[in-house]
């Protein structure tokens, strides 16, 4: 890992003063900061190589296409996928909507089959399936969490021969609980061999080394802006055998083979799912973010996140005015949700920013069914990444003590 000074050089925003205090950025589950390397790569493309891709033969277009496809190649290698299995999208949300719609209209999932999701999911991995279930008359089965904690043995009881699709987060964006994806895959395939397993990797991929082949998952969705990359760029990985069977989600330029008055045929993977002009600079920025993460090492990042989370949990458990949600042990990484007893989460977040320069999230975190499971309407949430240190946690703790003293 880099030193605090090295991170400040790479992430200049960390030098900012917020209300006279050093910025402590603990809102990484919403969006991560971007290093200079990423933005310099985007700027270099934008200033010197910008053109549309795959459409022209002039120099700029050729350079832009090469950079775009090189980014795909790098990201594919990062998750151990084939290049044609990596589709550029706007983010996890679009990737999961694409999946829900395409799997349904392609009749890969049928009305007499079931889709299993949990009540801990982000709305992006909840609402699309719910709505597709209504439109196509497909049964959606919901696995309820007990006090917001995922229990594998109980979850497996919800899988049966009718279960065609499992869509589940890799890390809860509310509690930070790490879900045992490898165990789910192993157990689920013993129940039904052709079950389709989809992982919402928005919180998972930035923090844990992911090998889609060894995990044997069928689809993986993740976003660039949660892993040091630009906003508006994301990835859908899918096994080639399914992508070839699926109908496109969007229609338009670049994704066609032949168009006539009678019908249209579609081009090869991955382009049949990439209608229109893509976010070329976003793909280049995401590829550079992957470089940055790999230089640090994903195993080092996971260890750092785990150590920081456990340090924070240890400190926070000593504050008897906090209600902490989730496992509160080593099953939890990079994210902690909590409430200050008797004080609205928005007030806590506002005051931490004002009196300590600490940036946290407050709200339902796009996970209202999870809030129902926890018995609250909203929570405070802190989330950590590579540039956070123990000192940041210490500042958070002192800030929380002040908030309690002022508002209790």
- In the residue annotation, 380 being an active-site residue is answered as no
Q: Which residues pair with 335 in a beta bridge?
A: 383
**Distance from C-alpha of 118 to C-alpha of 99, rounded to nearest angstrom:** 17
DSSP letter, residue 20: T
Q: Annotated catalytic residue: which of 39, 298, 331, 366?
A: 366
* Residue 122 vs residues 92, 332, 370, 379: alpha-carbon distances, Å: 10, 17, 9, 14
3-state secondary structure of 100: helix
Provide CB contacts within 8 A for 330, sequence distance 6+: 306, 310
User: Quick one: which of 302, 323, 125, 287 has its CA closest to 219?
Assistant: 125
**Distance from C-alpha of 208 to C-alpha of 171, rounded to nearest angstrom:** 10
User: Quick one: which of 170, 166, 168 has its CA closest to 205?
Assistant: 170
Q: Which long-range contacts (CB under 8 A, 24 or more apart) does 360-366 make?
A: 360/26, 360/27, 360/396, 361/27, 361/29, 361/30, 365/29, 365/122, 365/173, 365/174, 365/337, 366/122, 366/123, 366/124, 366/173
Provide CB contacts within 8 A for 394, sequence distance 6+: 315
DSSP letter, residue 15: G
CB atoms within 10 A of CB 58: 9
**Distance from C-alpha of 398 to C-alpha of 156, rounded to nearest angstrom:** 42
Could you give the maximum distance between any two Cα atoms of the chain, in Å?
A: 72
**Distance from C-alpha of 135 to C-alpha of 234, rounded to nearest angstrom:** 26
**Distance from C-alpha of 350 to C-alpha of 93, rounded to nearest angstrom:** 28
CB atoms within 10 A of CB 69: 14
DSSP letter, residue 27: B
Catalytic center residues: 366
């Amino acid at each position: 890992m880099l030193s605090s000074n090295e991170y400040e050089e790479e992430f200049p925003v960390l030098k900012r003063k917020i209300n006279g205090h050093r910025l402590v950025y603990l809102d990484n589950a919403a969006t991560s900061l971007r290093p200079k390397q990423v933005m310099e790569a985007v700027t270099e493309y934008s200033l010197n190589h910008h053109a549309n891709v795959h459409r022209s033969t002039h120099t700029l277009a050729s350079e832009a296409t090469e950079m775009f496809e090189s980014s795909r190649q790098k990201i594919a290698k990062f998750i151990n996928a084939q290049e044609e299995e990596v589709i550029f999208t706007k983010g996890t949300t679009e990737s999961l909507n694409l999946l829900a719609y395409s799997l349904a209209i392609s009749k890969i999932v049928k009305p007499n089959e079931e889709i299993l999701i949990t009540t801990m999911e982000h709305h992006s991995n909840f609402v699309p399936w719910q709505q597709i279930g209504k439109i196509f008359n497909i049964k959606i089965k919901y696995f309820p969490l007990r006090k917001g904690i995922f229990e594998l043995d109980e979850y497996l009881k919800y899988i049966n021969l009718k279960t065609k699709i499992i869509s589940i987060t890799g890390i809860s964006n509310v509690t930070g609980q790490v879900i045992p994806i490898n165990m789910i895959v192993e157990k689920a395939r013993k129940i039904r061999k052709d079950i389709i397993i989809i992982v919402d990797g928005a919180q998972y991929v930035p923090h844990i080394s992911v090998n889609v082949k060894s995990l044997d998952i069928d689809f993986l969705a993740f976003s660039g802006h949660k892993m040091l990359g630009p906003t508006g760029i994301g990835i859908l990985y899918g096994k080639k055998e399914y992508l070839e069977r699926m109908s496109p989600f969007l229609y338009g330029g670049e994704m066609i083979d032949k168009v006539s008055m009678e019908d249209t045929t579609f081009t090869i993977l991955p382009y049949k799912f990439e209608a229109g002009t893509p976010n070329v600079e976003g793909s280049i920025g995401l590829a550079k973010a992957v470089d940055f993460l790999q230089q640090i090492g994903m195993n080092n990042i996971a260890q750092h996140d785990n150590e920081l989370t456990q340090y924070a949990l240890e400190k926070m458990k000593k504050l008897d005015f906090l209600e902490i949600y989730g496992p509160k042990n080593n099953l939890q990484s990079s994210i902690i949700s909590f409430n200050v007893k008797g004080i609205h989460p928005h007030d806590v977040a506002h005051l931490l920013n004002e009196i300590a320069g600490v940036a946290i999230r407050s709200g339902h975190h796009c996970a209202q069914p999870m809030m129902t499971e926890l018995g609250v309407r909203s929570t405070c949430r802190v989330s950590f990444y590579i540039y956070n240190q123990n000192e940041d946690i210490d500042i958070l703790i002192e800030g929380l003590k002040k908030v309690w003293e002022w508002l209790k």
